[in-house]
Structure 1
Amino acid sequence: MDATFARRRILEPARLRALAQRSDLRGAAQALSHFGAILFTGWLLWETWGTWIAIPVFMVHGTLLNFLYAGQHELSHGTVFATKWLNEWLGRAIGFIQIFPRDFDQIQHFAHHRHTSDWERDGELAREPYRLTSYLLWLSGLSYWPTRIARILRFARGEVIEPYIRVDEEQRVIREGRWHLGLYLALIAVSLAFQSWALVILWIAPMFAMKWTHQLQNTIEHLGLEHSNDILSNTRSTRTSALMRWMCWQMQYHTAHHMFPSVPFWKLRDLNADIEKGIGGAPHRMGYIEFQIEVIRKLAGACSEADFPMNEVWIAPRAGGGFARLPAI
């Protein structure tokens, strides 16, 4: 079935246009509240450093830093602000903080949207099938950060090997990688000159140590679902709290986002309700903890992710759930 026609069965064009309206005010409210929370926890971490109170503050601060990627993601889609340049330059700033250059991330992520769950073309599936050990290393962040740093170093050397990066895009990511590397080295030099640990305490250490909190979101969105071109079969939403939805810029409504990526984050709840009404049920949905328990249980009993059929769902709620199969979207 034609994808556009299938989507129109769920959401009328006029309704989509209404939902897709951007707002500088709503974008600023989300961005300022997230950065404001980081500034507060950063100040508190600095003031309490060396005491036991610093431990929970460190954890909260690192979690907030990692979930900034949700903002970078939305900014790459250009849906946070109505003013276009704000989307680009705030996205670049967050990409620098995340050690995840904005232009590269945008190229990779758009390949992910165009070819979701296609092993050959999905920009976010450029990996070997998970084994239990490799999954736990990725979930913890221990294998995440080395890949991010190595990629920037490779781009800075002029080496681009990603198949989803076109030839005409290579200089763009090479230039970006060199800018990032140069600025990181400059910050290291300044820190050494002033003999300051501020960047380590307030940025690098908490962000690296708490990456696992954001990996809970990264891993739940598509893993264990069908490798098909049907969004309702290859994408999963997340059951969670209002606090987590704020911190993740509403990206827990992930099926809604994939189905209509032009809709701003702050309207995804309404979009999700429209979709559920249109399909007569809920899309795939799990909670963070139940998902991780199920993934670990399944991988512990298999050699690797490749042991499970790609045309079947192998991670689902134990007590049932899901939705009736619909035409491909």
Structure 2
Amino acid sequence: MDDFVGRRTMIPAKKMREFTKRSDFHGWVQTLSHFGAIIATGAGLYLTWGTWWMIPFFIAEGALLNYLFAAQHEYNHYTAFKTRWLNDFFNRITGFLQLYPRDYERWYHFEHHRYTSDWEKDPELISRGGPYTLGEYLPYLIGITYWTGRIKRLFIVASGETADYFTPEQKKQVVLESRVHLVLYALVAAVSVYFESWLAVQLWIAPMFATKIFQNIQNVTEHTGLTHVQDTVHNTRTIKTWWIFRWMAWNMQYHTAHHTFPAVPFYNLPKLHAEMCKQAGYEPPTTGYLAFQWRFIKQLMKGPEPFDGIAEIDGSTAKTDDVARGKEAAEAVA
């Protein structure tokens, strides 16, 4: 993904070599702790089902399952583990659990990095059809249209319809992949009916579907409302939050650092972020989850999301002249 780096000379070469080193140890620690937490909260949910004590376990289980999207993302970049096949192995698992086939998401995400915040080419923007309105945003934020869209896409791709950016070989692969996923989900449903078991719903589908808002807040805050100038230092946001959310999201809160230098593993993103701030002399657009939601929803109450983004006003964002320099840099690259 070297072609996605927007600021090649921003970080000294020696530092970048340190930041891009990959480690099976860090990958195993993060993977086992995340899946281990899912198993632990799932056990708690199973044992407390039908009582008031199930509520915190239900929420925790759902949030942890939804944040497997961050794990899937890291596996897609082949930066979770140094050993390549381990990334592929766990990526298949997370893709199945997330109802988001691995190969489709990998190439979809590849395009997102290449054309970040480009209304005409970024698939994340194309898929929502234009700027948000309040009536479109809130159902997506809480997960309603997120999940209906995810399930609909599974069937559409399985029917043979894919995006134009897939190569002919990739199209064959993602179509087959979606069909295999649907067969496996049908098998889970059939086994559940045969054994008259609700476990798949209780410990997987219900908590994951009901708590999507926790991870959607992360997804939306990463880019929404920022400039659409092709410069990742300014069209991608860094998020301030507690350590527990940084752990669940595999440090994806340092999203500016990730998008600017996508070959850097998740565990080095905090150090990369600090070095970027040092080299640039300012902090990239930075906010908290709730601060952004408050600002963005207030904007949507006035009218649709502005095509060029909304003002960053929470006191920890890039200055106007910094954004201007970002535009100049993007124009120079173009």
Which range, TM-score by smaller chain?
over 0.9
2:253 match: secondary structure: coil
Q: Paired residue for 1:12?
A: 12
Q: Paired residue for 2:148?
A: 146
CA drift at 1:322: 2.1
- Identity level (%): 45
1:164 match: secondary structure: coil
- Report the Cα distance in structure 2 between the residues aligned to 1:301 and 1:66, rounded to whole angstroms: 31
Q: Which runs of 4+ in 1 moved over 6 A?
A: 3-6
Q: How does 1:96-135 map to 2 (within 5 A)?
A: 96-126=96-126, 127-128=128-129, 129-135=131-137
Q: Paired residue for 2:281?
A: 280
1:31 match: secondary structure: helix
- Report the Cα distance in structure 2 between the residues aligned to 1:81 and 1:64, rounded to whole angstroms: 20
1:244 match: secondary structure: helix
The aligned amino acid for 2:317 is G
CA drift at 1:124: 1.2
The TM-score with structure 2 as length reference comes to 0.93
Q: Is 1:44–1:57's contact at 8 Å kept on the other side of the alignment?
A: yes
1:256-315 superposed Cα distances (whole Å, 9 cap, x missing partner): 00010000000000000110001001000110001001111001101x22xx242xx404
Q: Is 1:295–1:315's contact at 8 Å kept on the other side of the alignment?
A: no
Q: Paired residue for 2:160?
A: 158
Q: Indicate how the Cα distance of structure 1 residues 244 and 5 shifts in structure 2: closer, same or farther if over 3 A, else same.
A: closer
2:79 match: secondary structure: coil
Q: How does 1:127-276 map to 2 (within 5 A)?
A: 127-128=128-129, 129-160=131-162, 162-276=163-277
1:286 match: secondary structure: strand
Q: Indicate how the Cα distance of structure 1 residues 190 and 216 shifts in structure 2: closer, same or farther if over 3 A, else same.
A: same
Q: Indicate how the Cα distance of structure 1 residues 176 and 241 shifts in structure 2: closer, same or farther if over 3 A, else same.
A: same
Q: Is 2:232–2:260's contact at 8 Å kept on the other side of the alignment?
A: yes
Q: Indicate how the Cα distance of structure 1 residues 87 and 320 shifts in structure 2: closer, same or farther if over 3 A, else same.
A: closer
- Report the Cα distance in structure 2 between the residues aligned to 1:132 and 1:321, rounded to whole angstroms: 24
Q: Indicate how the Cα distance of structure 1 residues 6 and 103 shifts in structure 2: closer, same or farther if over 3 A, else same.
A: closer
CA drift at 1:69: 0.5
Gaps of 5+ in 1: none
Q: How does 1:38-77 map to 2 (within 5 A)?
A: 38-77=38-77
CA drift at 1:232: 1.6
Q: Is 1:99–1:148's contact at 8 Å kept on the other side of the alignment?
A: yes
CA drift at 1:6: 6.8
- Report the Cα distance in structure 2 between the residues aligned to 1:125 and 1:5, rounded to whole angstroms: 20
The aligned amino acid for 1:192 is V
Q: Is 2:140–2:146's contact at 8 Å kept on the other side of the alignment?
A: yes
The aligned amino acid for 2:159 is R
Q: Is 1:257–1:268's contact at 8 Å kept on the other side of the alignment?
A: yes
1:95 match: secondary structure: helix
The aligned amino acid for 2:114 is R
CA drift at 1:166: 2.9
Q: Kindly tell me the number of residue pairs found equivalent between the two proteins.
A: 321
Q: Is 1:38–1:61's contact at 8 Å kept on the other side of the alignment?
A: yes
Q: Indicate how the Cα distance of structure 1 residues 315 and 45 shifts in structure 2: closer, same or farther if over 3 A, else same.
A: farther
The aligned amino acid for 1:46 is Y
Q: Indicate how the Cα distance of structure 1 residues 163 and 43 shifts in structure 2: closer, same or farther if over 3 A, else same.
A: same
1:7 match: secondary structure: coil
- Report the Cα distance in structure 1 between the residues aligned to 2:146 and 2:200, rounded to whole angstroms: 20
Q: Paired residue for 1:322?
A: 318
Gaps of 5+ in 2: none
